[in-house]
Structure 1
C-alpha cells in the first residue's frame, strides 16, 4: 500500500492546504512553499516556539504528525528558492514515525538549492539519519550546535563530510559538557575534513581538542588553502598546540584572517609562538579566557584586532600593551581588555601609550576595578589643554572605552572623536578647551570668515606694533594651520562680498 509521501504528487491537486495541516502556522509555511516563495525553514517543537528559543518565528514549522511532515518534505523537494533549513530540539519529530522522518530527510537531500543547514539540540537517533540530507553538493554551510556527541555520533558526522566537498563553512559546537569525546577521538575524525578543499570558516568548539587533534588539523591544512577563519574555543589547547597550529597555518593557509582560541590553556609562550609564526594575513587574534599574563615583552603590533579579555595580567602587563600602542607601526584598531586585573595604575599606563596613537578606535576596559581617577587618565590624552598646540596634537582617534560609567568630560571627548574630519575634531576641542578663544558667535563652527579675518589682522599687526591683539588674533595665531586648511581651500576663487 503506498504511503502518504508516495501519494503526495497525486494528491496535491485535490488536497487543500487546510486539509494538509490543522496548525495555522504550518499552513502558512506549506502555502508559501507551494508557491515557491520560502527562503528559510526551521523545524522545532511547540515549547521552543513558546520560549522564543528560535529567532525565526516566521519560518517555523512544528510537525504534528507524519502526514504534516510528509507534505512538508514534498514541497521542500520541489523548492527552487529554499536556501536555509534548521532543525531544533529533541522532540521535534516526536509525533512522527521513523519512516516519515527518513522520507523527509531524503526529500531534504533532493533539494539542490539548500546552501545552509543548522542542527540544534538533536538526539543521537536523529543525527544518525542526517546523511541523506547532508550529502548534496549545494551545501556550503553546516552547523551542529548544542548536540550531545559521543564517539559514534562524531564519527558518523565527520565520515559524512567526506562526501561534502562543497563545504565552505563548518561549525560544530557542543558547549560545555555536551561532548563525550577525547583528544584521540577527535584526532581520528579530523582527517575527514581534507575533502573540504573550499573551506573558508572552520569552528570546532568544546570538543576536547588538544595536541593530537592539532596535529591532525595541521595535516589537513594543506587541503584548505582558502581558509579565512579558524575558531577552536573551549578546548584543551596549550602552548604546544599553538606551535602546531601556527606552523600548519603558516605553511599552508596564507589567506587566513581570523584565529580564535578563546577559553583554552594558552600562556605567554603560546602567545609569543602565535605572534612569531602566524601568517602575515592574520589581523584578528582572540585569546580570551586563557592563562596569559604578559609577564614578558611581546610585540603585538601586527594585529588589527586583539582580544585578550578574561586573562589575569601581571602588574606590568599593561606596559607591554602600551609599548605596542605607542609604536608608530602599531596596526591595532580594537583591543578588548575587560576582566584583566588592570586597575587605575594600569589604566594610566594604557592611556599614556595612546597619546600619539592614530589607529586605535576602541579599547574595552570594563570590569577592571577602575575608579573615576583611573578613567580621568584619558582626559589629558583626548584633550591636552596645556596649550592650543597640545590640544591639536591630542588623540582624535579613540572613540570607545567599552564601559558606560566614565566621567562626562571623557565621554564628551570620545563622542567628538567619532567625527570623520579630524581637523574639525581638533578645532572643536580647541574651542571647548580654550574658551577665551571661543569666537563661535562670530564665526560659527565652520569658521567660514576665518581666512578674511586673518588677512585683515595681519596688516594692522605689522604697522601698529602697539595694537593690543584681540582674542580673535590670538586664536588665529595659535591655531595650527591644518585646522583651517579645509576652510581656506573652500574660500579660494570666491569673491568676498561685503555687507553695506
Structure 2
C-alpha cells in the first residue's frame, strides 16, 4: 500500500476478518493522524498521552492485544516510514511482534517506544531483530526499564547493525557494564550520530563511565549528539570528557545536565570552549557552577564562536555571575539561545543586564527562558517555558508549538526547539 488512505482500510479489514473490534484510537489516528515527512513517507502518530484525541484520560491506550493487527498492517504499508507508540501499555508480549515487524519491514525508518513497559527480554528481542536491519534510523526506548542486560543487548547489536543512527536509552536503568559497553562499541561504530544514556544506575563516584566516554570521543568521528544527564559526573569526569573533546571535530551537542560539576569542572570545560570551535549546544543545567563557574564560562565565551545554545539553569548563580554572562554576549555574537532560570534573579543589576539583552534584540524572546516586567520602578524576571529539551517528554496539541506533531521523528536539527533532542 503506497497510499496512506489505504492503511486504515487494511487495518479494519484485518480486524473484521478475525472477528475483532478495531481499536478506536488506532482507527482515528489512521484517519487523521498520518502526516507526510520530508523523506516522502508518512508518520503514524499513536502516542498514548494524547488524551483529547483518545477521548479523555480514561480512554484505553494501545495494549498488547492490539499489536498483532497493527503490526500486520504496517508490514504491508511501505508508505509508513515512522511510527510513534510512546506512552502506551505495551509489555514484553508485544516484543516478538515488533521484532518481526523490524525484520520484515523494508520501509520503517523510525520507531518511538518511549515509556511503555518493556524489560530486558523485550530489549533482547528488539536488539536481535536489528542485527541485519539497515532501514531503521531511529529507535527510542527511553523510559522502559530494560536494565543492564537490556543495555548490553543493544551494545551487542551496535557491533553488527549498519544503519541505526539515533538510539535513546535514557531512564532505562542501565548499569555500569552496559554504559561502558556502549562507549566501547562507539569507538568503531560508524553509524550512530546521537546517543542518550541518561540516568544510569551507577553505584560509584569514580567517573568510570565518563572516563570511557571521553576516550571514545577522542577517536569517534560520527557522533554529533551525546546525552550524559544524571550520570553522577564530577569535576574529574568533566576534565576527562573535555580532554576527549579537544581532538573531536564532529560532536555538536553535549548534555551534561543534572550532574555534580562545580566551578573546578567548569574550568576545564571553559578551556575546551576556547579551543573547540565545533560544539554548538552545551547543557550544564542543574549542576553546581555558582558565580565562579559562570564567570569562567563567560570568559571562555568571549573566545568561542561556535556555541549557539547554552543552558545553565538552576546552578546557584547570583547577580555577579549573571552579569558576566550578559556582558560576554556583547563580544560573542554567535550564541543565540540562553537558558538561566532557577538561579538567583533577585539582584537589580543582573535583571537590568538581562532586560537589556532582550530590549536590544541581542536575544530573541523565544530563545531565552525569562521575560521581564517592571513594577515600582524595579525590573523583575519571570519564567518562560523555553529550554533545550522542552518537548522531550511530550508534545503539545494546541498552539504554535503543536506543529512538532507534524514533524518527522528524524528531524535532527538539535539546536531547534522542535528537534529530535527537544521534541521526541
Q: State yes or no: 1:204 paired with 2:197.
A: yes
Of 81, 84, 100, the residue aligned with 1:83 is: 81
> Taking structure 1 as reference, are residues 22 and 199 closer, same or farther at Cα in structure 2, changes over 3 Å only?
same
1:335 counterpart SS class: strand
CA contact (8 A) 2:64 2:89 kept: no
Against the structure 1 CA distance between its residues 198 and 101, is the aligned structure 2 distance closer, same or farther, given a 3 Å change threshold? closer
Q: Is 1:165 aligned to residue 162 of structure 2?
A: yes
Give the structure 2 partner of residue 267 of structure 1.
262
Per-residue CA deviations over 1:4-57 (Å, capped at 9, x if unaligned) read xxxxxxxx9xx765223322538848998xxxx98345678xxx57856999x9
How many residue pairs get aligned? The number is 345
Larger radius of gyration: 1
User: Structure 1 pair 109/230, CA: closer, same or farther in 2 (3 Å)?
Assistant: same
**Counterpart Cα distance in 2 of 1:262 and 1:353:** 27
Distance in 2, matches of 1:104 and 1:167, equals: 16
1:260-299 matches, within 5 Å, as 260-278=255-273, 279-295=276-292, 297-298=295-296, 299=299
Map 1:119-138; keep pairs closer than 5 Å. Answer: 119-120=113-114, 121-124=116-119, 125-135=121-131, 136-138=133-135
Alignment CA distance shift 1:370-1:171 (3 Å): farther
Gaps of 5+ in 1: 1-11, 377-400, 405-500
1:319: Cα distance to partner? Answer: 3.5
Per the alignment, in what secondary structure is the counterpart of residue 329 of structure 2? helix
- Which residue does the alignment assign to 2:353? 350
Pairing of 1:444-455 with structure 2 (within 5 A): none
Corresponding position of 2:337: 334
Q: 2:100 aligns with which of 106, 109, 120?
A: 106
Distance 2:363 2:383 in 1: 16
Out of 22-31 and 339-348, give the one that drifted further. 22-31
Please state which structure has a larger fraction of its residues in helix. 1
Which of 113, 137, 143 in structure 2 is aligned with 1:140?
Answer: 137
What is residue 226 of structure 1 aligned with on the other side?
A: 222
1:292, distance to aligned residue in structure 2 (A): 0.8
2:180 to 184, 187, 195: 187
Secondary structure in 1 matching 2:141: strand
Distance 2:51 2:358 in 1: 49
The CA deviation string for residues 450-484 of structure 1, in whole angstroms up to 9 with x for no partner, is: xxxxxxxxxxxxxxxxxxxxxxxxxxxxxxxxxxx
Tell me the SS of whatever aligns to 2:379: helix
Q: Within 1, Cα distance between the matches of 2:23 and 2:359? A: 62
Matched, 1:309 2:313: yes
Shift of 1:154: 1.7
* Offset at residue 171 of structure 1 (A): 1.5
CA change 1:314–1:212 in 2 (3 A) is same
Residue 152 in structure 1 maps to residue 155 in structure 2: no
Deviations 1:322-352 (A, max 9, x none): 43134x3443333222121131334256259
1:325 correspondence with 2:329: yes
